[in-house]
């Protein structure tokens, strides 16, 4: 089977966040290419929920091991059995894999372990991820990453030559397929007036939840709305002008982005940072992002920048600025361009 790739389809096991969005959009593009049914196979565990159908690429259920073992045992066995190359989207490969393409969205476990060191479980996760990173970097597989910043990080920590690392970024066109939904009545009291919107999670320390508390406390007349999985424990002590929506549908998320005065993204670390691109596509009034190199690289003059260690002193004057024009930003970062780059790497 000449130049056949098995796509690690375990991204179908998770909710759709940045890495899973990349996986689905690139696969959907590959599905439309000539001879896709012979060139690619998506492999998923037997217990995987029904994935979104593809028109040409077959989706095969194989193996019943759970979690990390599925990749290390079942996926590895299938690759050997079919004598195929691997296309891995999620930073991880079977440790013995030596042929194919792997996407390293970031190397946060190697470069910023301080954002995870909070218990035995985190330490185990760091050790596993760093082992996998080492195997990827020494495997001889073609490495793809999503930004110049991430490529520089890989070169810095692993000494790979720049020529060995290709860049395939993210896009936004999936936002066109999302139909805005009415904002639930329970949220309307505080999204009716000008508000600042963000997406965050208790489980991702690099998203910098503490900044929101400081910024809201320092700007009591502003309304902050945060969607995502924030635990009750992490909500303790939050100022009254922060409102948590919990998880919302894609349609409600788009509406919240569409009508906000600004989308906030105070991360300490990102490989690309796709949520602000989604917010721009939805029509957010402004992007207010962390002053870190990768976000300057991706968003340039389309955004305003804040100190992630600060307390939001910059917000009042930023909100006086005219709403942003995202035309250049959206034309620069598209799924179609990203998928074309990926396809060339697979030839």
**Topology of the domain comprising 175-331:** Rossmann fold (3.40.50)
Token digits of residue 219: 């700007």
Collect all residues with Cβ–Cβ distance below 8 Å to 182 and sequence separation of at least 6. 252, 255
* Distance separating alpha carbons of residues 298 and 146, to the nearest angstrom: 10
pLDDT of residue 315: 97
Instruction: Confirm if 271 and 147 have CB atoms less than 8 A apart.
Output: yes
- Whether the per-residue pLDDT at 184 is higher than 90: the answer is no
Average pLDDT over residues 265-277: 96
* Distance separating alpha carbons of residues 256 and 199, to the nearest angstrom: 10
CA dihedral 291, 23, 50, 4 (to 10 degrees): -170
* Distance separating alpha carbons of residues 146 and 161, to the nearest angstrom: 16
Instruction: Confirm if 34 and 57 have CB atoms less than 8 A apart.
Output: no
Which phi and psi (to 5°) does residue 306 adopt? -125, 160
* Residue 160: CB atoms within 10 Å: 15
Q: What is the pTM of this model?
A: 0.93
Residue 126 binned pLDDT confidence (cut-offs 50, 70, 90): confident
Arithmetic mean of pLDDT over the chain: 93
pLDDT of residue 167: 98
pLDDT tens by residue, 55-72 = 999 999 999 999 889 999
* Dihedral sign computed on CA atoms, order 210, 212, 213, 218: positive
pLDDT of residue 121: 73
- Whether the per-residue pLDDT at 200 is higher than 70: the answer is yes
* Residue spans per domain, the chain: 5-172+334-345, 175-331
**Topology of the domain comprising 5-172+334-345:** Rossmann fold (3.40.50)
* Distance separating alpha carbons of residues 17 and 12, to the nearest angstrom: 11
pLDDT tens by residue, 78-116 = 999 999 999 999 999 999 899 999 999 999 989 998 887
pLDDT tens by residue, 201-252 = 876 788 899 999 999 999 999 999 999 888 888 888 899 999 999 889 999 9
* Distance separating alpha carbons of residues 5 and 2, to the nearest angstrom: 9
pLDDT of residue 117: 61
pLDDT of residue 2: 60
pLDDT of residue 119: 67
């Amino acid at each position: 089977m000449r130049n056949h790739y098995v796509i690690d389809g375990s991204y179908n096991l998770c909710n759709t966040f940045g890495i899973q969005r990349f996986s689905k959009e690139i696969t959907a593009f590959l599905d439309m290419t000539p001879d896709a049914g012979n060139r690619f196979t998506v492999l998923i565990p037997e217990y995987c929920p029904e994935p979104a159908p593809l028109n040409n690429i077959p989706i095969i259920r194989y193996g019943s091991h759970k979690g990390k073992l599925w990749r290390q045992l079942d996926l590895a066995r299938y690759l050997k059995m079919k004598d195929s190359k691997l296309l891995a989207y999620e930073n991880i490969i079977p440790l013995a894999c030596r042929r194919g393409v792997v996407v390293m969205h970031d190397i946060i476990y190697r470069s910023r372990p301080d954002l995870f060191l909070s218990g035995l479980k985190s330490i185990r996760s760091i050790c596993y991820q760093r082992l996998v990173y080492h195997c990827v970097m020494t495997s001889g597989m073609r490495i793809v990453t999503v930004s110049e910043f991430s490529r520089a990080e890989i070169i810095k920590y692993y000494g790979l030559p720049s020529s060995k690392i290709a860049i395939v970024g993210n896009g936004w066109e999936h936002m066109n397929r999302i139909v805005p939904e009415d904002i639930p009545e329970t949220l309307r009291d505080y999204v009716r007036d000008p508000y600042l919107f963000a997406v965050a999670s208790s489980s991702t320390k690099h998203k910098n939840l503490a900044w929101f508390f400081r910024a809201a406390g320092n700007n009591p007349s502003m309304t902050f709305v945060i969607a995502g999985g924030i635990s009750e424990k992490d909500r303790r002590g939050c100022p009254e002008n922060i409102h948590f929506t919990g998880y919302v549908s894609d349609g409600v998320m788009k509406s919240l982005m569409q009508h906000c005065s600004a989308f906030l993204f105070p991360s300490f670390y990102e490989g690309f940072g796709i949520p602000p691109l989604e917010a721009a596509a939805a029509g957010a009034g402004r992007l207010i992002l962390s002053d870190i190199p990768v976000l300057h690289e991706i968003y340039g003059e389309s955004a305003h920048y804040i100190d992630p260690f600060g307390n939001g002193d910059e917000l009042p004057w930023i909100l006086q600025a005219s709403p942003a024009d995202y035309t250049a930003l959206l034309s620069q970062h598209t799924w179609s361009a990203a998928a074309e780059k990926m396809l060339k790497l697979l030839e």
